[in-house]
Amino acid sequence: MLLTPEVLTIDILNLLFVVFATLAFYYSVKIVSRYDRNATTPLQYNLEKQSYLVSVVIKFIFYTKVLLFIFFIFTLDDISNILPGAMCGAGVVNATQYGTYLLILKVINLYIFAYWLVLNNEDMKSEQQIYLQLKLKIYLFAYFLLILEIGLESLMFLSIDTKSVVDCCGAIFSTTDGTYMAHLLSVNPVMLLGSFYALFAFIVLAYKIKNRYLFSLMNLLFVIAALVSLIGFFGTYIYELPTHHCPFCLLQKDYNYIGYLLYIFLFIGTFFGIVLGLVPFRQEDENAKYKISLFFTTLYVIAVSYYPLAYYIKNGVWL
């Protein structure tokens, strides 16, 4: 059982999330099942008032969870200092059977929680609250993901044994064993880079022709291509070491914490791109989200492209 100040902070916040999220879940079920937009009975007015309170509670939880993701990553990195064998957060994730599933779920939840926040924002702009039923139905689904995430997080921290030796990132992201990760890292760099830059080109094309569905789909695929190419190719140039593929070491001081910047660019760019295909924004808002998405995605592409180019200019060879 691990009890560092960071873990205790996360545990206390999780307890508060469970209490308030469950209350919000109860009232959401009530509103979804009984609310009628066209009715003018006292019950409907009460449900409208309750929906406002519920939305505020959910908004607080999801905003905190989105911001808390960065703190969670920081905590993993911090814990690696007390685990024998761990050199970064990758060793902590791999220390228990729950870590990998938790990390994947956290990334998925990050996009779902942020989507709910955007939908709620659009709903509050409308006097008729046109997304009231939809956002609460989405919350009913998101609630189970939230509880699952908190459960996995608790299990992971409870299961960590600070006396057991864990694998370092060099072993986890090795290209010489027969794991799925090894096969992934063995993909031809030309194919990796071709997919990465081709998807970015399609994003630019979709922006030019203002096709929000194509823009959304390309951003969704770009997230996958960006993460795989970062681990398989771009990361090695940031480390200037062909055998170093760890996506967590990018978050350390030795590499100027560049990982935080890259992941924030990638999340903001792709999230606003994906959400364009899910919410019919007003023209002015749609244009703004196109620009935000393309701006941050372009920043990400420029940032990761800089490292191999700078390495080649400085050394005259590729890794």
Residue 167 has a CB neighbour count (10 Å cut-off) of: 16
Tell me how far apart the alpha carbons of residues 62 and 66 are, in angstroms, rounded to a whole number: 6
The pLDDT of residue 241: 86
With a cut of 80, say whether residue 180 has pLDDT above it.
Answer: no
Give the dihedral of Cα atoms 214, 215, 220, 221; nearest 10 deg: 70
More confident residue, 222 or 3: 222
Give the dihedral of Cα atoms 178, 184, 189, 195; nearest 10 deg: 160
Residue 202 has a CB neighbour count (10 Å cut-off) of: 17
Most confident of 83-92, 151-160, 169-178, 293-302: 293-302
The owner of tokens 């960065």 is: 70
Max distance between CA atoms of the chain, in angstroms, equals 76
Sign of CA dihedral 173, 151, 2, 106: positive
pLDDT tens digits for range 243-295:
888 888 888 888 888 999 999 999 999 999 999 999 988 989 999 999 999 99
pLDDT tens digits for range 194-205:
999 999 999 999
Quote the mean pLDDT of the chain.
89
Q: Are 291 and 272 in contact (CB under 8 A)?
A: no
The predicted model scores a pTM of: 0.90
